Chains A and B, each alone.
Chain A
Amino acid sequence: MLSQESLQQIDREIAKYPPDQKQSAVMAALRIAQVEKGWLPKELIEFVARYLEMPPIAAYEVASFYNMYDLEPVGRHKITVCTNLPCALSGGVHAAEYVKQKLGIDFNETTPDGKFTLKEGECMGACGDAPVLLVNNHQMCSWMTTEKIDQMLADLDKK
């Protein structure tokens, strides 16, 4: 269900923990699975659980508890904008409004062409860089003026 490369990555994560604690690698394994497949359907979570020799329900609990896992399909690029108070004081809400207007969608929506999904994020621990947003969970974009948002969306549109 997952590529050899993903499985090798998961194996490297398993090796970080004591031999009888494979389950500790579940967060990384779900992340690796999500990067390959785009989101986490039930069968994929079950596959990860079997690979780590843990009950599927325990893996599902983890996938549904942590909010960076996507249990439903998302667009090719997921953009998460922080609107928490420190960011909001420096334009986080305005930046989010600008992205909404540019993409023509609201939070938790995906553009009709399936390219972009927009999410509202909680504190990313980068308040000094406000406005801050995350692209596909792993790329943090700091000091997002409207010009930088334009540039970012144009770059992502080509990918």
Chain B
Amino acid sequence: MILAGCDGDRAWRLQDYVARGGYSALKRIVAEKTPQDAIIAELKASVLRGRGGAGFPTGLKWSFMPRSFPGDKYLACNSDEGEPGTFKDRDILRYNPHSVIEGMTIAAYAMGAARGYNYIHGEIFEIYQRFEDALAEAREAGLIGQNILGSDFSFELFAHHGYGAYICGEETALLESIEGKKGQPRFKPPFPASYGLYGKPTTINNTETFASVPFIMNMGGEAFLNLGKPNNGGMKLFSISGHVNRPGNYEIPLGTPFSELLEMAGGMRGGRKLKAVIPGGSSSPVLPGSVMMDCTMDYDSISKAGSMLGSGAVIVMDETTCMVKALERLSYFYFEESCGQCTPCREGTGWLYRVVHRIENGLGREDDLDLLNSVTANIMGRTICALGDAASMPVQSFVKHFGAEFAYHIENKKCLVPHEVQRAGSQIYVSPSC
């Protein structure tokens, strides 16, 4: 859907997007003066759920916006994609930026917002520049800016880049960052719909969420819903990384069995055995491979199995993976990226990293697993934003499902998987199709 037909270097250009049917939804809405309520109703019917990770119903989110509020209202697109494992928004912006621009413009129309920002991850600076180019094309064609397509509807849209802070993917940290401040999350409530950018009502959605909007407006909410399964509407991009033959993005209907997705990604590298999968980005609890093979890729199935679909980032690990080492790297990431605002997270993420690090390095103590569980219990639910929870869930789930491997480390002061096997399993690997 979003990535269909996006082959070649020119797919991102306005002309190519229009040839694929792009901007037809916006043109129709502006020409027919579609009522705002009708757009939101269509979105609700589609059961589009936020593609950034939380899975919150988009139509409902849009309905929270106080449309009759007389002052400024803002839109923000969250393209600050830095959750380890996630790389779908980069491809959407690289190959189909106009779908995001059209989706945001329709959203602005539906919610009465006059100005919007797309916040793009700093590390993908070339993509930020391309988005600027796409904005210039859209502005030139009268698709954004003043009096869009000759109507009385105006919407100004700009790109804003991050510069290396994972926390800015949290929506209120993102707003602080657009305001030119440190990206430290705000206490909620008030929620952005009432107090957002510059203190004004603001709606924030993920890149893929906005990119889905034109397609929903064209095919109708119900048809979109039926692409997926009940309560899990539509198509979704899954980013597969790790020990597979063809890492990359795969756009498939929600509800597709994990086994089929794995097959699309070329199966396990070297024909090795599947050990574990992190199904929704590094913050989602890890699941043993056998559990994953019985799951379908949708919010409800993954949640029932004890994890989260999150952003749709699937990290695949085979039998050569040391689970302690894997967790050590993730724990370091959260320690490094904690913004430092809340004590339980600032101090707790350091504790988690140091304890996992000492277990990995043969210095683990007998009660370390209890200590890890105790630290996570003292972080979770005690912080302003979800980063503390995101740091804790991997620890809890790794210890829960692979506790024996952690215990082996502590007792024998070495890895269960021999080092040379680990090294051989994680050599530099580039798929022949790249």
Contacts and interface: CB of A to CB of B under 8 A. Distances in A.
B321 interface: yes
A61 to B, nearest CB: 5
A139 B329 CA distance: 25
A123 B126 contact: no
A128 B94 CA distance: 14
B124 A126 contact: yes
Contacts of B56: none
Interface string B303-339: 0000000000101110001000010011001001101
A90 B242 contact: yes
Interface size bracket, A side: 35 or more
Nearest to A89: B242
Interface in B75-93: 81-87, 89-90
A127 B428 contact: no
A84 B240 contact: no
Interface string A58-79: 1001100111110000000000
Interface in B376-390: none
A140 interface: yes
A16 B123 contact: no
Interface string B41-83: 0000000000000000000000000000000100000000111
A91 B162 CA distance: 27
A95 B315 contact: no
A117 to B, nearest CB: 15
B426 A94 contact: yes
B426 A93 contact: yes
A145 interface: yes
Nearest to B337: A122
Contact of B179 (A24, A68, A85): A24
Given A66-B164, A127-B247, A85 B329 contact: yes
Nearest to B431: A143
B83 A128 contact: no
Given A91-B426, A91-B428, A66 B165 contact: yes
Interface string A119-147: 00111111111110010011110111110
Given A58-B181, A67-B164, A123-B166, A90 B426 contact: yes
Nearest to A93: B426
A123 B329 contact: no
A11 B83 CA distance: 32
A23 B180 contact: yes
A54 B159 CA distance: 22
A21 B179 contact: yes
Contact of B426 (A28, A88, A125): A88
A99 to B, nearest CB: 12
B202 to A, nearest CB: 13
A86 B85 contact: yes
A86 B164 contact: no
Contacts of B125: 137-140
Contacts of A69: 163-164
B121 interface: yes
A153 interface: no
A123 B84 contact: yes
Given A86-B242, A89-B241, A122-B82, A62 B329 contact: no
Contacts of B121: 124-125
Contact of B160 (A16, A52, A61): A16
Interface string B179-213: 11111000000000000001000000000000000
A89 B426 contact: yes
A87 B241 CA distance: 8
A131 B165 contact: no
Contacts of A26: 180
A84 B122 contact: no
A22 B327 CA distance: 42
A25 interface: yes
A126 B90 contact: yes
B25 to A, nearest CB: 26
A140 B329 contact: no
Contacts of A7: none
Contacts of B316: 89
Interface string A3-29: 000000000000011100101111110
Interface of B: 72, 81-87, 89-90, 115, 117, 121-126, 158-166, 177-183, 198, 239-243, 247-249, 282, 313, 315-317, 321, 326, 329-330, 333, 336-337, 339, 423, 426-430, 434
Top 7 A-B pairs ranked by shortest CB distance?
A91-B428, A23-B180, A68-B164, A86-B241, A124-B123, A67-B164, A127-B241
11 contacts: A16-B158, A24-B180, A26-B180, A85-B315, A86-B315, A89-B315, A89-B321, A123-B83, A123-B282, A129-B87, A138-B125
